[in-house]
Amino acid sequence: MNETNVKIKKIKKVMSETNFIGVDLSKGSDVGTCNGKVTPKVVKKVKKIVKDESTMKSDVVDNSPCDFSDFESGKVEVSSSANVPTVKKVKKEIKKIVKDIKDEISNSTDVISFVRVIDLKREDYSEFTEEKYPYGLTFLDFEVFKYDWLVVLIDVIELKETIIVNDRKALLKFYMSHRNKLHASYNGRSYDSTIYKGIILGMNPKELNDKLIVERLKPFQISNKFKEVELLNYDIMTKIESLKVLEAYLQDSIYESKISFDIDRPLTMDELEETIRYCHNDVVECKKVFLLRHDDFEVSMGVIEMFNLPISNINLTNAQLTAKVLECERPKEDRKDEFNLWVVDTVKLEKYKDVIDWFMNPANHDYSKFYVRDVCGMKHKFGWGGLHSVNDEPMIINEHVQDWDVASLYPSLDIRYELLTRNCKHPEKFKFIYDERIRLKKAKDPKNKCLKLILNSTYGICKDKNSSAYDPLMSNMTCLTGQLLILMLIEWIEPYVKIWVQTNTDGIQFVAKDGCQEKIESLIHKWEGVSGMNMEVENILKTYQSNVNNYTFQLDDGSFKRKGAYLKKATPLDADLPIVNEAMFNFLAYGKKIEDTINECNDLYMFQKVYKISSNYKYGYHNGKEINEKVYRIFASNDLKDTWLGKQKEKGGTIEKFANCPNNCFLELGDIHGKKCSEYPMLNKQWYIDLAQDRIEKGYHLDCKPSIFDF
């Protein structure tokens, strides 16, 4: 056997002793090789075999000594030699060996386990420093299959990406070194932290996965042992919404992993690598969403610091954190007084006394019921969730509208009328928080947002059966008292009002009769004294209102307020048909033609419509093909060969069209950053023009279509 073969045999032995897991050299350290890529640990061992100065020097083209940093990067070119194992030949042989091993693994029924650690670049994570994150910060995401599980953990402070596949001991080791450090994940409170803790406790991750996703159980319904594992985890998901939908809004790729979660065997190496790439991408997306919602994180951390709470409270929801701050404790027995209502002594109604009668009638003590009656010439809806006017017709007003809102209505009611949850041990603490928040707000101290969180969450937790603050009577009394006080104010000023614009739970809008402005203001100030509430006013110059939830106002400083699904401005995390909203707003606010806004825009993402398949459906359907994706980014198409986007509950089942989908559309599920409309000649801008015009005409009864005189 010649020298080359001896060395290759030794290399093969080195390879057989590794876990055969690979990554590009440029991405950091590893424990093995795969996919024909040579990794640092293997290279280090191979050096001892192939690095022979007496033979290597003569084989390098430029006759200079072989530098293994060049070997690792693949930059060295060497001449061929029949008897000497050149760098090029050794590398080629290593790749062949890896391929053979990879094939063996692919045909194996054994579960593959390994760990990979990758060094990260500081410039890619410059937003994260130890000063900003003294508790550290690791973003993570788990993927679970029948026989396999894996997790990607990106520590943005220590600049390490750790990938653990089917290795509980490795996860336990990582946990022990990070147990006092902060983790962040999307929907982690319900899913990822439960899988993490379950594996640490020796539970079957697949069984946990199915209980969480298929049976839709909460972690506490599965086991009380999870409490034994301390894990600092901040949940980036602030409301129920798909991460993949947010990725679509962010213009990123929304392709799902091609590896089915229903595979009934251990994954092959190729399948694991594909899943790792997919999981890594989700962790990166988590980081993006975290930064865009950083204010929410700052508020949670601020509350913990202001009230000297243990850092473990970062795991709590806003509602749980509020109950913790207020030191709430539920009574041992249910009070059973949910509808033992009363009317506070400051409420005096004459014209609208029937509203009180409705609320006091036991037959109406049902949260599904409500009461509708005319108030100020407009229908108003009273109920157990609040008060609002019901506009049958859109309103376009070019007169001075006054917009009066009660400042912090529910917290103010809780203090003035002692309606705070009776489970709060120290009600005076709530009063301190209220006063301190006002002081900090006036001083423009951002810490006021931390106290605002507590104040605004208190009402909601009174109705939460799982909260230690649960006290439905006080919640009902707060809601009822607010409605009756607002109604009393309306009754007082009604004779002096020319046009009633709208009413909501904590505010009113109207146009005063000529010469009645001072009288109305006098009555409002009197009402403030009687009720104990404080009101704030804004002056509106123009009003375009489709209904109480969809409108745009121009204030006296020239700025605009926009509210509603059809008029809101797009944000990085909320961008569904943004061009239609922008065209409608420009038409209402500035009189700009719908078609001008749309035709002038060349940014593709402005035209995106995003759909998500619910858990009731298995497949999407487009252009005669079933598509196994969960989220779709579609664009109206002028190519008649393109179909609408559909969905199926089962393979070969009935195809249902997504609501409001164009009859012809094309999909773009990849990254669309920087994409221009001009690159997509099939984009049908007329569909967007027609949609915006239709919404204007139906919502505001305005004719916005061009006439013959416009051409």
pLDDT of residue 79: 39
Question: Is pLDDT above 50 for 451?
Answer: yes
Those residues with Cβ within 8 angstroms of residue 176's Cβ, 6 or more apart along the chain or in another chain? none
Instruction: Express each pLDDT in 25-55 by its tens digit.
Output: 333 333 333 333 344 555 555 555 545 433 3
pLDDT of residue 550: 87
The mean-pLDDT minimum among 102-116, 205-219, 374-388, 625-639 falls in 102-116
Q: Which residues pair with 401 in a beta bridge?
A: 540
> What's the whole-number mean pLDDT along residues 461-487?
96
Confidence class for position 255, pLDDT limits 50, 70, 90: very high
Instruction: Express each pLDDT in 124-170 by its tens digit.
Output: 999 999 999 999 999 999 999 999 999 999 999 999 999 999 999 99
Tokens 């059973």 label which residue? 336
pLDDT top residue among 644 and 548: 644
Question: Is pLDDT above 50 for 64?
Answer: no
Instruction: Express each pLDDT in 187-217 by its tens digit.
Output: 999 999 999 999 999 999 999 999 999 999 9
Instruction: Express each pLDDT in 409-445 by its tens digit.
Output: 999 999 999 999 999 999 999 999 999 999 999 999 9
CA torsion, points 169, 174, 180, 182, in degrees to nearest 10?
Answer: -130
pLDDT of residue 208: 97
pLDDT of residue 637: 98
> What's the whole-number mean pLDDT along residues 287-301?
96
Euclidean distance between CA atoms 101 and 240, whole angstroms? 44
Those residues with Cβ within 8 angstroms of residue 42's Cβ, 6 or more apart along the chain or in another chain? 14, 15, 18, 32, 33, 94
What percent of the chain has pLDDT above 90?
A: 79
> What's the whole-number mean pLDDT along residues 389-393?
85
Kindly list the structural domains of the chain, giving each domain's residue range(s) and its CATH number in brackets, ordered by start.
3-106 (no CATH), 114-293 (no CATH), 330-444+459-559 (3.90.1600.10), 578-710 (no CATH)
Question: Is pLDDT above 80 for 708?
Answer: no
Q: Are 233 and 185 in contact (CB under 8 A)?
A: yes
Question: Is pLDDT above 80 for 283?
Answer: yes
Question: Is pLDDT above 80 for 329?
Answer: yes
Phi/psi at 654 (nearest 5 deg)?
-60, 135
Euclidean distance between CA atoms 647 and 237, whole angstroms? 26
> What's the whole-number mean pLDDT along residues 607-626?
94
Question: Is pLDDT above 70 for 480?
Answer: yes
Taking the CA of residue 601 as centre, how many other CA atoms within 13 Å lie in the half-sphere pointing to its CB? Answer: 25
Confidence class for position 549, pLDDT limits 50, 70, 90: confident
> What's the whole-number mean pLDDT along residues 699-703?
87
pLDDT of residue 63: 35
> What's the whole-number mean pLDDT along residues 490-504?
96
Confidence class for position 704, pLDDT limits 50, 70, 90: confident
pLDDT of residue 368: 96
Question: Is pLDDT above 70 for 62?
Answer: no
pLDDT of residue 241: 84
Element (H, E) at 632: strand 631-636
Question: Is pLDDT above 80 for 11?
Answer: no
Question: Is pLDDT above 50 for 66?
Answer: no
User: In a 3-state reduction of DSSP, which class is residue 600?
Assistant: helix
Over the chain, what is the mean pLDDT? 87
pLDDT of residue 89: 66
Confidence class for position 109, pLDDT limits 50, 70, 90: low
- φ/ψ region of 543 (left if φ > 0, alpha if ψ in -120 to 50, else beta) reads beta
Question: Is pLDDT above 50 for 647?
Answer: yes
pLDDT of residue 30: 38
Euclidean distance between CA atoms 661 and 356, whole angstroms? 46
Q: Are 14 and 45 in contact (CB under 8 A)?
A: yes
pLDDT of residue 13: 54
> What's the whole-number mean pLDDT along residues 678-693?
97
Confidence class for position 393, pLDDT limits 50, 70, 90: confident
pLDDT of residue 81: 41
Euclidean distance between CA atoms 265 and 148, whole angstroms? 9
- Token pair of 205 as six digits: 């991750």
